[in-house]
Amino acid sequence: MNILITGGTGFVGSHMIDYILKYAIRPDQKIYCTKRWMEDTKNVDHIDDDRFEFIDCDLLDGLSIKRAVEISKPDKVFHFAAQSFPEVSFKIPVITLQTNVVGTTNLLESIKESDYDPVIVSISTSEVYGSSQFIPMDEKHPLNAQSPY
């Protein structure tokens, strides 16, 4: 089983990689992590494991993500890559939408056009629900996003 992780150099993605390497992957399995050119990798620099490998990739480049899918041959995909700061989304809404919408679309289209049929876990946020109308909020809560994020 191969796992492709986008956004693995971020806070949540890097912890997922640590967890999978410790508890959920066999020696013959591999985690591939997308990484943009010159991206800060400090959250995963501690990993010294042959089951972990970077793939240079930019989700805004359709050929780049297609290449990552072909290299990783994923059975599972964890999609963490995003511009994830609501405040920043107001300052740079176009970049936020490109990263979060176009990047996700490129990933999903690349998988759809590939020979692989992985389980896809796309990470989201409570921000899609806006102000809570009831607590606890669950997936039945009405969507009411209040930022481009």
Q: What is the pLDDT of residue 32?
A: 98
What's the whole-number average pLDDT of the chain?
91
Encode pLDDT of 119-140 as tens digits.
999 988 777 787 888 888 887 8
Encode pLDDT of 48-73 as tens digits.
999 999 999 999 999 999 999 999 99
Q: What is the pLDDT of residue 31?
A: 97
- How many whole angstroms separate alpha carbon 17 and alpha carbon 15? 5
0.85 cut: is pTM over it?
yes
Report, as an integer, the average pLDDT of 102-127: 93
Report, as an integer, the average pLDDT of 83-88: 82
Query: What is the 3-class SS of 62-116, one letter each residue?
Result: HHHHHHHHHHHCCCEEEECCCCCCHHHHHHCHHHHHHHHHHHHHHHHHHHHCCCC
